[in-house]
Amino acid sequence: MTRARIRAIFAVPVLAALGVFLFWGFAGVPDFGGFHGRYGTIINHRATPERHTTNAVTAVVFDYRGVDTLGEEFILFAAVVGVVLLLRKGDEGEPPTAPVRSEQVRLVGAVMVGVAFLIGLWVIAFGFVTPGGGFQGGVVVAGALLLVFLTAGYRPWQRLAKERALDPLEGLGVGSFVAIGLAGLIASGPFLHNFIGSGRTGTLASGGTMPLLNWATALEVAAANVVLYAEFLEHYVAPIFAKEPR
């Protein structure tokens, strides 16, 4: 009996048990629109009057539970550092040739990089007015930069994703979050105290210090994701392209 067959035999009962627990969990989920959680109701009624932001989720992330968000940023930071320690090579060598030879793909890709990048900035900037914020927008910005590799090839991507630039940017993002929190202490308030004021509801200046925390998070998330892309592409994809005929 092969190892694959043995693994399959053991996997079947395990997957079946997990499936039972999964359906059991789904059976207890409230109906759509039937949420009656007290915490969510209180936030929906108080976020806009107290924090002057129309996106209650963003108010929770960067104000009511801002310390939790700081912890999440450090989790992402530590995870990326671990990946870098495992995958980063000392000598990169000659970058492989670009596999994308279609001029049409390159042209459309160049346009889409700009469009996706602007959408990411919009999601970040308007995170206090509409759904969005630094986490979501940071991922979109990183995805926009990844389009450079998908549509132009590895060499243009490598020139864009420089380790010497990305590593400080990631540290700057998570460090700025801490610095803004300490500024609240200096202003005779608690950590992450909104020492600027609430601002005007419905504008990009709403939320006081929350937009600053939002942009710090966006910088850290975007840089962290680009670092991950760069490390995995260099470790797993670049060797494949290097073997192709030039």
pLDDT digits (tens, 9 = 90+) for 130-171: 888 999 999 999 999 999 888 887 888 888 888 888 889 989
**Average pLDDT for residues 235-239, to the nearest whole number?**
76
Q: Is 133 strand, coil or helix?
A: coil
**Average pLDDT for residues 116-140, to the nearest whole number?**
92
d(CA 105, CA 111): 10
Q: Please, what is the angle between helix 210-232 and helix 103-125, to 10°? A: 150
Q: Which two tokens stand for residue 185?
A: 């202490």
Q: Is the pLDDT of residue 243 over 70?
A: no
Q: For the chain, what are the domain ranges?
A: 3-242
Q: Is the pLDDT of residue 1 over 80?
A: no
What is the per-residue pLDDT across 171-208, written as a single tens digit (0 to 9) for each?
Answer: 999 999 999 999 988 988 888 888 888 888 888 878 88
CA angle 227, 91, 232 (to 5 degrees): 30
Q: What percent of the chain has pLDDT over 70?
A: 90
Looking from the CA of 29 toward its CB, the CA atoms found within 13 Å total: 10
Do 97 and 23 form a contact (C-beta atoms < 8 A)?
A: no
DSSP characters over 177-239: HHHHHHHHHHTTS-TT---S----TTSTTTTTTHHHHHHHHHHHHHHHHHHHHHHHIIIIIHH
**Mean pLDDT (the chain, rounded):** 85
d(CA 164, CA 149): 19
What is the per-residue pLDDT across 62-112, written as a single tens digit (0 to 9) for each?
Answer: 989 889 999 999 999 999 999 888 887 655 555 555 566 677 777 888 889
What is the per-residue pLDDT across 5-31, written as a single tens digit (0 to 9) for each?
Answer: 888 888 899 999 999 999 988 887 777
d(CA 203, CA 200): 6
Amino acid type, 136: Q
Instruction: Please report the pLDDT score of residue 96 as a whole number.
Output: 56
Instruction: Please report the pLDDT score of residue 242 as a whole number.
Output: 55
Instruction: Please report the pLDDT score of residue 97 as a whole number.
Output: 59
What pTM was estimated for this model as a whole?
0.79
Instruction: Please report the pLDDT score of residue 39 as a whole number.
Output: 85
